[in-house]
Structure 1
Amino acid sequence: MEEFTKALEYFPNMDEGTKDAPLDNVFYFKRYHYKSAEPTVYRTGLCILLSGKKRMTFEEHSYEYSALDYIVCSMMIHAQCETFASFDDPVRGIFIGFSVEEIRELVEIMNLRGRIKTFDSKHIPSPIGPSTMDGDFQDSLVRFLKCLSDENEAKVLGKALKREVLYRALCGEQAELLLKLSLQAGPLVQINKVIDVLEQNYNQEIDVDNLAKEVNLSVSSFYRLFKDVTSDTPVQYLKKIRLNKAKEMIITQNAKAYVAALEVGYQSVSQFSREFKRYFGVTPAALKVS
């Protein structure tokens, strides 16, 4: 733990919110205040806490994590997140995104294919899992954070040190979740493929029949599998993507509600406002003011 405190020395001096690191798909986050549970998007990657505490709720499960803990997320999910933070003990952390290809490459190098064969291919795993860093993971993370604190080091060493952190995760408690993600087929792979389609076409109307064909399933089997993995129906999941995209537009671009609604695919602004308030607990107008 004493060695891990060095990690905070390399955490950037930043305001509350998020800040991109000098490496693709990696960012820091910080919060000084308590925040009650709110809808939160977790993307594919490792969400690592350096200080403070968070409680994540997905389906009927709640996961508390604090310094030395991290969450492995194998796909983009919509969860509830409660933040426990203060000026004396702020939440500080780093998100390290990864691709399926990065995990597959490590699995091949580590010769873990044989272990994958022991898994029940029909079992539907949770897409997320909590874990705690061991000493080796902590050492790797400290080196990674130190590297990111220098832009030139990040350019030269960043990818290699990120790979080392992912290697540590593959040696950790959530190794099975990451290994299942590396499969060429299976529930996580199938649903990730559909989520990619929804993410790229969120402002378009969706056809569930076509989504089912994408993963070679009947409509009923696809519908059931999608809900089992994500806890949402495809339509509900798409709605959450749209609402989160609209929220981002309102906050970062100062977009008017009707502009954001039309941009993300809503045909009715009044319907958008109702669903926005129901999901986030605040109207688009009130969010803009805040």
Structure 2
Amino acid sequence: MKNRRLDKENPLFEAKLKQLTNLIERYTDREGLQSSSIPSLDFIRSSSKLELLHSIYTPSLCVIVQGAKVVMLGTDSYRYDKNSYLVASVQLPITGQIIEASSATPYLSLRLGFSSDQILDIIKETKQVPIKNQNSPRGLIVNETNLSLLDALLRLVSLLETPKDIPVLAPLFIREILYRILQDDQGYVVKQFAMIGSHAQAISSAINLINKDFSKSLSIDELAKSINMSTSSLHHHFKKVTAMSPLQYQKQVRLQEARRLLLSETLEAADAAFQVGYESPSQFSREYARMFGLPPISDIKRLKNSVYVNF
């Protein structure tokens, strides 16, 4: 922790953060999520505090350079800002809210996606043999940003200034960024989800199976069998990782997909309900209203008449 404080007190830290902020601002010409020419790197910009936003986080590193945000996973709440970063190790349904943003100083952040194969490759290259912790960790962590990580991020984003260098140098810089995360004091958490044989990796497989066929009826017994776990172990470790049960997880994924369909396509609520796996439109409407605050049609009308940004 002492070294982290020294990083924050180092004028170089603030200078590099300012450089990164200026670069991201230069490459975000509109509100919301914007992709970049570097594969797996996206930027987010918002000039105002927004309502609660529901989204699915894929495995990724999220770094704020200006502003602050609160994200919720189940009943857990995580706040992070320009001095910290967030890592989602598995696919998770998240509720988030930007709490610091203005037109003068917009919320700015980056999101770098990664895969378990990338993490495993670094573990093998560094010849690390992490302990397979059988007490599954949360799939979401927040850690303080350090100078080494910030420097690597700045070099990656700076490649946007020289596009010809991206194919060769971006993979190297991304590898360094992931290496820095794994070396951090919560890096062991990220490693667990890539280590074959750990409970965390088994739950990651279960999460992938649910997302692959979320519209189908979920059999907990079959899901447990597919990852070589007992039903009770599946429930225990799944809740440790996601802060919810498998059925609650599936419900959130279904409802978020239904909302996306209603916003992007001209569908009736009943049609969206059937597409995501509901057999009863009335049950769908009740659960939708419970999650989003309004029944489907009213919610979509409100969103279309407001500034809705999907992150």
Same structural fold, with TM-score higher than 0.5 when normalized by the shorter chain: yes
Structure 1 partner of 2:254:
242
Structure 2 partner of 1:3:
16
The alpha-carbon deviation at position 223 of structure 1 amounts to 2.1
Letter in 2 for 1:128: L
Question: CA distance change for structure 1 residues 228 and 24 in 2, over 3 Å: closer, same or farther?
Answer: same
Alpha-carbon distance between aligned partners in 1 of 2:44 and 2:178, rounded to the nearest angstrom = 19
Question: CA distance change for structure 1 residues 14 and 273 in 2, over 3 Å: closer, same or farther?
Answer: farther
Question: CA distance change for structure 1 residues 198 and 61 in 2, over 3 Å: closer, same or farther?
Answer: closer
The alpha-carbon deviation at position 275 of structure 1 amounts to 1.1
Contact 1:254 1:288 in 2 (8 A): no
Contact 1:122 1:186 in 2 (8 A): yes
Q: Deviations over 1:110-144 (max 9, x none)?
A: 1221xx13x6x322212211112211111110111
Q: How does 1:120-135 map to 2 (within 5 A)?
A: 121-135=133-147
Structure 2 partner of 1:112:
128
Structure 1: any 5+ residue segments left out of the alignment? Answer: none
Question: CA distance change for structure 1 residues 24 and 214 in 2, over 3 Å: closer, same or farther?
Answer: farther
Question: CA distance change for structure 1 residues 167 and 249 in 2, over 3 Å: closer, same or farther?
Answer: same
Q: How does 1:54-93 map to 2 (within 5 A)?
A: 54-84=69-99, 85-93=101-109
Partner of 1:29, secondary structure, is strand
Question: CA distance change for structure 1 residues 272 and 26 in 2, over 3 Å: closer, same or farther?
Answer: farther
Question: CA distance change for structure 1 residues 197 and 184 in 2, over 3 Å: closer, same or farther?
Answer: same
Among 127, 143, 151, which residue is 1:139 paired with?
151
Alpha-carbon distance between aligned partners in 2 of 1:150 and 1:282, rounded to the nearest angstrom = 47
Alpha-carbon distance between aligned partners in 1 of 2:252 and 2:76, rounded to the nearest angstrom = 19
Partner of 1:2, secondary structure, is helix
Structure 1 partner of 2:272:
260
How many aligned residue pairs are there?
286
Among 58, 75, 85, which residue is 1:43 paired with?
58
Structure 2: any 5+ residue segments left out of the alignment? Answer: 1-13, 305-311
Letter in 1 for 2:204: N
Partner of 1:95, secondary structure, is strand
Alpha-carbon distance between aligned partners in 2 of 1:20 and 1:247, rounded to the nearest angstrom = 22
Structure 1 partner of 2:4:
none
Partner of 1:65, secondary structure, is strand
Structure 1 partner of 2:240:
228
Q: How does 1:72-221 map to 2 (within 5 A)?
A: 72-84=87-99, 85-113=101-129, 116-117=130-131, 121-148=133-160, 151-221=163-233
- Greater shift in the superposed pair: 233-242 or 54-63: 54-63
Partner of 2:273, secondary structure, is helix
Partner of 1:188, secondary structure, is helix
Alpha-carbon distance between aligned partners in 1 of 2:61 and 2:28, rounded to the nearest angstrom = 22
Q: Please give the root-mean-square deviation of Cα atoms over the aligned residues, in Å.
A: 2.0
Partner of 1:94, secondary structure, is strand
Partner of 1:122, secondary structure, is coil
Q: TM-score, normalised on structure 1? A: 0.91
Alpha-carbon distance between aligned partners in 1 of 2:68 and 2:294, rounded to the nearest angstrom = 24
Q: TM-score, normalised on structure 2? A: 0.85
